[in-house]
Amino acid sequence: MTASVPRFPTGFTWGVSTSAYQIEGATSEDGRGPSIWDRFTHSPGTVVDGSTGDAACDHYHRYAEDVALLAGLGVGAYRFSIAWPRIQPDGTGQANPAGLAFYDRLVDSLLERGIDPVATLFHWDLPQALEDRGGWLARDTAERFADYATLVAGRLADRVKLWITLNEPFVHMSYGYGLGVHAPGQQRLFDAFPVAHHQLLGHGLAVTALRALTGSPIAITNNYSPVRVQGGTDADQLAAGAYHALHNRLFTDPILGLGYPEIPGADESVIRPGDLDTIAAPIDALGVNYYNPTGVRAPTDPENPLPFDLVPLTGYPTTSFGWPVDPDGLRELLTGLRHEYGDRLPPIHITEGGCCYDDTLDALGRCHDPERIAYLDGHLRAVHQAIADGVDVRGYFVWSLLDNFEWAEGYTKRFGLVHVDFATQRRTPKTSYAWYRDLINAGTVAPSGTVTPTEAAAVAPADAR
């Protein structure tokens, strides 16, 4: 490695992210109602290890310990999500005082440590009562989401520094309502388009509701994936374009005032006059979640109902999820957004970036994860390069602070900077925790010339315990 050290702009935000259902536990203790994930995980065969988020990381009771871990990292911001059913147990009506009180305590604890609270209003845990009335297939859910946003902002607007309306609406639509591998487990394929529209409508209504109560910036977080065409035919190019429109443009074009891209089979009858104006309510930032690029080609099976095949990419190292590790894909994505949307594109925050590996404790109770250090090093360099190329990126939030409940994968995938023993709830900072702490303190990335896992193991701080 050479001696040059790239520095990020003054004021760049270093943070970490979590989500409510994945860490909180205490699923009904304070009057919280059931969410679609409670129903889904308690249904046989939905989670690979048969687990649920009933306990998760017990963050509800251990939040003070977790805030101390955040303070030890030196992060400037913490992105967490608020559990809608903890605020409105059945998705409607007045707020549950005990539920709001928990987030009061959390936000105050963060501010006492000099950490900016970044609150996501919806990270997939829809109140089951609303799902029973149609969920995001029903227009009424968008209206109820705006009511919920008003309740939360009415309590926290004076302290939350950045609001995020929705997390990864594409993933929630496609996995939850299109393919059925996430809650609520519906398999509608392109008939899930109303879910897209009503999530976006809910976002627009929530932006208006938040504007009435806070001067803090407002954003939405999308998951993005650069598309890599696997094949040289015109049909392969068309397939790649269809996937790009679905994954990367469907939840961005309308927010930035461009209306919907063409989506085959989309039922646009759900769009009413004025909806697109509501959806395009101005936002102050765009949250970008990036994990990997996607290989796409024309469908080879005439029975395939989709206009594309997804093809595993080769030639890359992979995480324990099997996802290809491609840091340059993040640079490509960021510069692509700038090229595609130009001056319409607001400032960007990387609201999730991270990786899962099969992390274990050694005989001395330590957790060394050089692969994660190498992953973060490479992706932060990609962000640095995108900034140098003119993209306005304001921050990076590592996913995640803690090993947690990883949705349909249960407790089999570990993304955390902190190892969690789910039987005892013991937290053990990994080597990557100390590495990230030192990076934040220095305001840099590691010396130029991307760190390999072997180098990371050699140079990582030795005090991670």
Catalogue all structural domains in the chain, each as residue range(s) with its CATH number.
13-459 (3.20.20.80)
Binding-site residues for substrate sit at: 22, 123, 167, 291, 399, 406-407
**Average pLDDT for residues 25-46, to the nearest whole number?**
97
pLDDT at 461: 54
pLDDT at 451: 76
Q: What backbone torsions phi and psi does residue 222 show, to the nearest 5 degrees?
A: -115, 155
Reported confidence tier of residue 454, pLDDT bands at 50, 70, 90: confident
Q: Give the whole-number percent of the chain exceeding pLDDT 70.
A: 96
Task: Note the pLDDT tens digit of each residue in 388-400.
Answer: 999 999 999 999 9
Reported confidence tier of residue 448, pLDDT bands at 50, 70, 90: low
In sequence order, what are the beta bridge partners of 418? 402, 429
pLDDT at 218: 98
In sequence order, what are the beta bridge partners of 296? 229, 310
Alpha helix ranges (H) inside 183-326? 193-211, 234-244, 275-279
Q: Give the whole-number percent of the chain exceeding pLDDT 90.
A: 92
24, 131, 352, 455: which is the annotated catalytic residue?
Answer: 352
Residue 455: active-site member: no
Task: Note the pLDDT tens digit of each residue in 93-129.
Answer: 999 999 999 999 999 999 999 999 999 999 999 999 9
**Separation CA 452–CA 439 (nearest Å):** 16
pLDDT at 465 over 80: no
> Which pTM value belongs to this model?
0.96
Task: For residue 143, give the amino acid letter.
Answer: E
pLDDT at 443: 80
pLDDT at 1: 33
Instruction: Spell out a b/e string for 176-207, using b for 16 or more CB atoms within 10 Å of the CB, else e.
Output: bbbebebbbbbebeeebbbbbbbbbbbbbbbb
Taking CA atoms, 463 is separated from 338, 354, 456, 458, in Å, by: 40, 22, 14, 13
pLDDT at 453: 81
In sequence order, what are the beta bridge partners of 426? 421
Reported confidence tier of residue 160, pLDDT bands at 50, 70, 90: very high
Least confident window among 5-9, 133-137, 372-376, 383-387: 5-9
Reported confidence tier of residue 458, pLDDT bands at 50, 70, 90: low
DSSP codes of every residue in 20-70: HHHH---SSTTSPPPBHHHHHHTSTTSSTTS--SSSTT-HHHHHHHHHHHH
Nearest to 405, CA basis, from 34, 62, 58: 58
Task: Note the pLDDT tens digit of each residue in 55-104.
Answer: 999 999 999 999 999 999 999 999 999 999 999 999 999 999 999 999 99
CA atoms within 13 A on the CB side of 285: 22
In sequence order, what are the beta bridge partners of 420? 427
**Separation CA 37–CA 49 (nearest Å):** 15
Nearest to 357, CA basis, from 319, 406, 387: 319
**Averaged pLDDT of the chain:** 95
pLDDT at 460: 54
Reported confidence tier of residue 378, pLDDT bands at 50, 70, 90: very high
Task: For residue 327, give the amino acid letter.
Answer: P
112, 131, 143, 168: which is the annotated catalytic residue?
Answer: 168
Task: Note the pLDDT tens digit of each residue in 175-198.
Answer: 999 999 999 999 999 999 999 999
pLDDT at 464 over 70: no
**Average pLDDT for residues 226-234, to the nearest whole number?**
97
pLDDT at 346: 98
Taking CA atoms, 135 is separated from 131, 185, 217, in Å, by: 4, 12, 28
As a three-state string, the secondary structure of 117-128 is EEEEEECCCCEH
Reported confidence tier of residue 444, pLDDT bands at 50, 70, 90: confident
Residue 168: active-site member: yes
Cis omega before residue 269 (within 30°)?
Answer: no
| Sequence-ordered strand ranges (E) for 262-302 | 285-290, 294-297
Higher pLDDT, 289 or 459: 289
Q: What DSSP element (H or E) covers 80?
A: strand 77-81
418 in helix, strand or coil? strand
**Average pLDDT for residues 275-292, to the nearest whole number?**
98
Q: Say how far residue 313 (Cα) sits from the centre of its chain.
A: 22
Taking CA atoms, 154 is separated from 95, 116, 158, in Å, by: 10, 18, 9
**Average pLDDT for residues 193-213, to the nearest whole number?**
98
